[in-house]
Amino acid sequence: MMWGCTLFTPPDSVVEPGFIPASRIAKPLAQENRPQQPPDIVARSAIVIDAVTGESLYEKNPDLRLPVASTQKLLTAMVAIEEGNLEAEIPISLEDALQPPTKLGLPPGSRQRRLDLLSSMLVSSANDAASALASNGNGSYREFVSRMNEKARKLGAVHSHFTNPHGLDEPGQYSTARDSAIIAYHAYRVPLIRHFAAQRTIPFRFGDGSSMTLENTNWLVWTRPAYFNGLKSGFTLWGGKCLVASAKHNGSEIIIVLLASRPDEVFNDARRLFKWHQKKLRSGYGDAPVRVFTE
């Protein structure tokens, strides 16, 4: 079955499936192109790109290797969607069920539809759902993770290494804000990802017929006016609070990536960058020398 925008709602963006991506997404900003008076943000690493052209608009330590927590579920979702067979029901193993929170509490031995697991992973960041998708992919769990790394490299995110599908802390797992922006640029072009990532709540039905309502962990989709339209948040002890957020307003669409922030500040960081970008749109992006954020 083909999944597209028309299955759910009309497209909310000028970005459409089949869009030919820019050859260099999230390209490092030249010194003369660095914007004026960027806002102070808490996140240790960040980048803002144009969601249509891929052009970099703002950077703060964008190439630091850091854990990216559950924001890497965007990559997991792309691999799962490419594998297809989303209507199939798959078994939940004990290992899937034992994943730490955040999770659905899927009983081992039960069966769930792949599409429902995908939606719960994107909306409520369910780790057991991510594990089940990887365990029941076209091969083993490890083969699924290998395909994640292969997919990242093909997209141009060559400074990342993933060891699991959910983003929980593991030695040797890392990415960067720039790579996360590259992945998000492509994930934004997958209608099914953009649909689920934009939902404030979704119903979830367990295999035994019981149900629950899942809430989006990306608080920005709850705000009004509805400038922010989705993607993914995450948190781990090693990675801190991370966020990949998309926003559209006044004919502009941007993707904001924030890594190693704090739960009480990451969404404020995103709002600061969004307001700064809107102000720059009104006044024009200047080329005067500005502060350069490095460590």
Specify the long-range contacts of residues 60-64, CB closer than 8 Å, at least 24 apart.
60/177, 60/293, 61/177, 61/293, 61/294, 61/295, 62/26, 62/28, 62/176, 62/177, 62/178, 62/181, 62/257, 63/159, 63/176, 63/177, 63/178, 64/176, 64/177, 64/259, 64/260, 64/295
228 — alpha (psi -120 to 50), left (phi > 0) or beta? Answer: beta
Catalytic residue among 45, 56, 60, 73: 73
Query: Annotated catalytic, 211?
Result: no
List, in order, residues 6 or more apart from 292 with CB less than 8 Å away: 31, 34
Query: Annotated catalytic, 246?
Result: no
Q: Please give the sequence-ordered ranges of beta strands (E in DSSP) within 16-76, or none if there are none.
A: 45-50, 56-60
Catalytic residue among 45, 125, 175, 180: 125
Query: Annotated catalytic, 70?
Result: yes
H helical segments located in 188-263: 191-197
Q: Which of 220, 221, 201, 219 is nearest to 211 (CA)?
A: 201
Catalytic residue among 70, 120, 124, 135: 70
Q: Which residues participate in catalysis according to the annotation?
A: 70, 73, 125
